Structure 1
Amino acid sequence: MTESLYPMSPATPPELEATSGSVTFVGSGPGDLGLLTLSGSRALRFADVIVVDPDMDAEHVRTLVSAHAQIRCSKGDGDTGLILRSIAQGLKVVRLHGGDYFTDADADSVLSEVLSQAGLHANVVPGVNRWSAALSYGAVTASASFAALDAILGIPAAQEWPSAATLIIRARGADSRSLAETASERFGRDGAVLSLQRMGTTSQSSELTTWAALTDTDDAERFFIIGPGVDDSHRNRFSWFERKPLFDWRIVVPRTKDDVSSLVEELDHYGATSEIVATMSIEPPRTEQAMEKAVRGLVDGRYLWLVFTSPHAVTAISERLQEYGLDSRALSGVSLAAVGSGTTEALARLGLVPDLTPVVENTTGALANEFPAYDDLIDPLNRVLVPSADVAVEPLLVGLGRLGWDVEEVTAYRTVRAAPPPAEVRDDIKTGMFDAVVFTSATAVRNMIGIAGKPHAATVVAAIGPATAAACDMHGMHVDVLADTPTFESVAEGLARFADRRRADQVSAGLPVTKPSQRKRRKRRKVVEAGQ
């Protein structure tokens, strides 16, 4: 009998044979969790347990997983037991790694152990490997032959290095000098090398230098690239990452009650790092009786229409239904109206589609103008429920009343000013350590100044519209960027254009390219009292 060229699959242990649990090893990065593949994102979305690298941002991971999922920090070889026990309990596990399991020589050994024991219950989703990423983030075009050397596992002798026109070397920053000494034997002390630090992050830095000039840095991962594509004349034509207009800009985004995640995504696209400062907090109503009565009325068929004016109103009604053991199906006999794309998206997450949304303008007044009039021959009821904040939506209430509807407004939630951010954030705002601030409403202007103080004069101020700009002026802030249209996309693009012009002005004046936060700071004068 001829022996098969393909080894048999590992046998599944008896304790795992009857379980529906599984494990998926997902690669991502490097440097950016946004490089997850669609398959990796899908695995995270349905996972019950996610084991992440120790240096991975767990809060970022939390935004990609379901609400019930547990996030655990990797303990190296100790992960094997956790993964196998979770599979035996019927849970879906994801081991999330900031790279690619098969091309990272130092990836933990848990992969091989679990694959040998989990059998049919294991899967691997490849990530972006560090070697090709180094070429892309360094804006280096690979030659016909290129090779990789992982010096983190040890620096081989010069004669053992790979022979290729383009060579990518991964090492620890603390070993840079030792690596340079060996490289000098092979390529000469004056050989050109591209040094890449903090690859794939908004603080990435690349430098064209020589082996003789290399010095040790911290112990973080560092990449070196040699070959015909590393010269500045070539890279300046193709550089895309570090030349983003807002690259390495630190931006503060004051948030009121509205979600600003799409604004942060737009700013990220231009290379910025955003920090959201909550200026408003959503609280339940002071008394619950009115909401209880309103939800009972919805279930009992008291209302023909339910009008949502914000995503928070959707959440308030949904949570109340859940308390009664109900879900969105309880609203099947009620017509739904919604104001704003965020509100429509909140309904979509519940599997609901509004019957009416404003076409001309996303405001409560516009909804009233487009709302159908009550017709006693067609409409079985004339009651409309409007769950909203503790601030009345007068244009909507008045407009619906004129159309013959009996409108009942109920306080579903309250908006209150948020607690001040941490002292370090307040200090950074006041001293100009943020490069820019993006205001999305006049309320955001007032609330941020109230809880954190006014931004430093050197900080670039961007406003989403004229009313927001007027609020900035009223508080003594010069508006540098005014969005062409009142959208997140427009204000982010306006800020990027401003940064581009600022960079061009610095270059044309022969000045070094700096960020607004990199201004010269005046030294404080020491006060010498008389007589001393």
Structure 2
Amino acid sequence: MNDVHNLPGRVRFVGTGPGDPGLLTKRALDAIAVADLVVHDRNLPQQMLEAAQEHAGDNAVFTVADATSTELIKDLITAAREGRNVARLLTGDAYPNATAQDEIAAILDTEVAVEVIPGVSYASAVAGYAGMPPGGLRTLIDVDDVSQLDTTTLAAAIANGTLVLTSDVANLAVVRDNLRATGIDSATPVAVTGDVTGETQFTATSTVDTFVEAALGFAGRVVITIGKGVEDRNRLGWWENRPLYGWKVLIPRTKEQAGEMSDKLREYGAIPCEVPTIAVEPPRTPAQMERAIKGLVDGRYAWIVFTSANAVKAIWEKFAEHGLDARAFGGLKIACVGDATAAKVRSFGIEPELLPTGEQSGTGLLEVFPPHDTILDPVSRVLLPRADIATEALSAGLQERGWEVDDVTAYRTVRASPPPADIRDAIKSGGFDAVLFTSSSTVRNLVGIAGKPHARTVVSVIGPHTAETATEFGLRVDAQPQHANMPSLVEALAEYAVALKKRMAEAPVKQRRGAKAQGPTALRFRS
């Protein structure tokens, strides 16, 4: 039997597209997943690199292609001969890249197996994301060596349809001069798109004479569109027209906790930044939780009431310690204060029996919680696992309804360490366009470890109690959803952004000197 590591590997050249990881094809993801070695250029967008690292195997090695072309080709061949699968990541599509073509040709001259996996080109991405379809007859030119631009070819392309050039931003002046040499009308519309499919993609529309100046602030590869497609941008563009496009949004939670919220923000075009303000630690003494788990197993409780996802996690971790699973909830009714907590319960394959129908809070849960019936409820006790800083209102309300309550500290919340200095400065100076508060403690702790958000920062809170705390700290509450859950919180911010944009368009307000307007910070330098 042959050792699998002695079998020959192969080199897969993977086009990754311009930058949005969502454009990676399934075949590209499969190539990354089976790769032992991932080789990428230094200019691969950070979000693309992170996506590749997420999909790669645990033992995959990532390295930057800093060697000379000859040395790199040798390294790729050697790795494949050693039985390693190699993923060579290329920005955009593979074949417009002259260097990649040389690498592919050199490896094909050996016995090493090669695959070339197409990626979305810059030109195709701009057509879709910026809303500039090139039409039936178009000329696409990838400019690696600007000295090879041919005036005759450019003139024919402009005369016959749409011309789309992909070039380094440093070459724009030379491209402009070549366009002028074709005799094109200097007032012909030109669109330049930078950071293609990225978080700050921006399309500047100008003319042949002015597009170089319009592209100031752009970096790296840009796409220049000349022709019919430019006229379509206003009616077909969508990527740059999303409600929160270019907004930097601060989320006072860990990346793990903010996952759903961050994904939703990205859908709306925002740039989320997670800053932990609370660290969750086990209770100082485990005795209470140990007795609670034993009581669950022994049938001591009629209900368990979860007030947070952290409480669900704490109970589940205790189950794991004792070799228990969801069956330990058999015969027990489960109540949750809101959708986010219920979602955490469902993630373990359990459906809660009771949630608030109105306000998603302890108060809302009490409105629908049944009173204890001595005949119908032979077990009269409720388990309430919570944080050490939780208020007594829910416990008191349950007792008023005739229930005996075991109010157990399931976890402790402690203030997290302060964020880096640049984050603290951005919070206090208006570097964030919005902040999303998901609880009163996130308000208190953010102000405690990083300072009070700037007055221009839009404040969106998840519910009335959080709003009260924000107001107590002198913050203006701009947005609050009707339903206290993460998706609704993000949607409330998006609705505020749409209304703000409409107000500014209808009645632009002249800012006093030194004042900072609300709006997308990430795009302000290009306005």
TM value normalised by structure 2? 0.74
Which residue does 1:139 correspond to in 2? 131
Cα separation, partners in 2 of 1:280 and 1:62, compared to 1, 3 Å: farther
2: CA distance between counterparts of 1:518 and 1:271?
Answer: 10
Distance 1:39 1:344 in 2: 36
| Offset of residue 469 of structure 1 | 3.9
**For residues 40 and 168 of structure 1, what CA distance do their matches in structure 2 show?**
26
> What SS does the aligned partner of 2:148 have?
coil
CA distance in 2: counterparts of 1:481 and 1:278, whole angstroms:
22
Q: Which residue of 2 aligns with 1:57?
A: 46
Number of the residue aligned with 2:191: 194
Q: Is the 8 A contact 1:344 1:353 kept in 2?
A: no
1:157 to 1:391, Cα distance in 2 relative to 1, 3 A? closer
Comparing 478-487 with 220-229, greater Cα deviation is found at: 478-487
Task: Please name the residue that 1:148 is paired with.
Answer: 140
2:62 to 73, 77, 80: 73
Among residues 163, 172, 175, which one is paired with 2:168 in the alignment?
Answer: 172
Change over 3 Å in CA distance of 1:468–1:309 after alignment to 2: closer
Cα distance in structure 1, aligned partners of 2:468 and 2:305: 31
CA distance in 1, matches of 2:240, 2:390: 47
Higher relative contact order (CA 8 A, sep 6+): 2
Structure 2 counterparts to residues 410-421 of structure 1, below 5 A? 410-421=408-419
Matched, 1:242 2:240: yes
CA distance in 2, matches of 1:295, 1:63: 41
TM-score for both structures, normalised by structure 1 = 0.73
How many Å apart are 1:220 and its aligned residue?
0.9
Give the 3-state SS of the residue equivalent to 2:240 in structure 1: coil
- 1:230 and 1:284 map into 2 onto residues whose CA distance is 58
Aligned partner of 2:64: which letter?
A: K
How far 1:504 sits from its partner (Å)?
0.8
5 Å matches for 1:29-48?
29-36=17-24
Q: Specify every segment of 5 or more residues in structure 1 that has no aligned partner in the other structure, as ranges.
A: 1-12, 520-532
Q: Give the partner amino acid of 1:498.
A: A
Measure, in 2, the Cα distance between the counterparts of 1:329 and 1:42.
Answer: 34
Q: Which residue of 2 aligns with 1:505?
A: 506
The corresponding residue for 2:524 is none
Q: Flag the 1:484–1:47 CA change in 2: closer, same or farther, 3 A.
A: farther
What amino acid does structure 2 have at the position aligned with 1:415? T
Distance 2:79 2:27 in 1: 23
Aligned residue in 2 for 1:221:
221
**What is residue 406 of structure 2 aligned with on the other side?**
408
**CA 18–83 in structure 1, closer or farther in 2 if over 3 Å, else same:** closer
> What SS does the aligned partner of 1:152 have?
coil
Q: CA deviation at 1:300?
A: 6.5
Distance 2:372 2:35 in 1: 48
| Count of residue pairs brought into register by the alignment | 492
Q: Where do residues 104-119 of structure 1 align in structure 2 (5 Å cutoff)?
A: none
Secondary structure class of the residue paired with 2:230: coil
Distance in 2, Cα, partners of 1:377 & 1:23: 69
Mapped to 1, the partners of 2:425 and 2:257 lie a distance apart of 25
* Equivalent AA in structure 2 for residue 204 of structure 1: Q
Question: Deviation at 1:143?
Answer: 1.6
More moved, 162-171 vs 389-398: 389-398
What's the counterpart of residue 358 of structure 1? 355
CA 1:416 to 1:160, structure 2 compared with 1: closer, same or farther past 3 Å? same
* Partner in structure 1 of residue 492 of structure 2: 491
Q: What amino acid does structure 2 have at the position aligned with 1:353?
A: I
How far apart, CA to CA, are the structure 2 residues paired with 1:23 and 1:337?
53
> Would the aligned equivalents of 2:11 and 2:76 in 1 still touch at CA under 8 Å?
no
Corresponding residue number in structure 1 for 2:334: 337
CA distance in 2, matches of 1:22, 1:196: 36
How far apart are residue 230 of structure 1 and its match?
1.8
1:151 offset after TM fit, Å?
0.9
Deviates more, 1:449-458 or 1:395-404: 395-404
The Cα RMSD (Å) is 4.8
Query: Contact 1:483–1:494 (CA<8 Å) still a contact in 2?
Result: no
Q: 2:144 is paired with a residue of what secondary structure?
A: helix
Report the 3-state secondary structure (helix = DSSP H, G, I; strand = E; otherwise coil) of the residue aligned with 1:388.
strand
Per the alignment, in what secondary structure is the counterpart of residue 454 of structure 1?
Answer: coil
Aligned to 1:435: 433
Contact 1:195 1:225 in 2 (8 A): yes
Partners of 1:302 and 1:38 in 2: CA distance: 51
Return the letter of the residue paired with 1:337: I
Listed as ranges, the gaps of 5+ residues in structure 2 are 66-71, 522-527
Opposite residue 229 of structure 1, the aligned amino acid is G
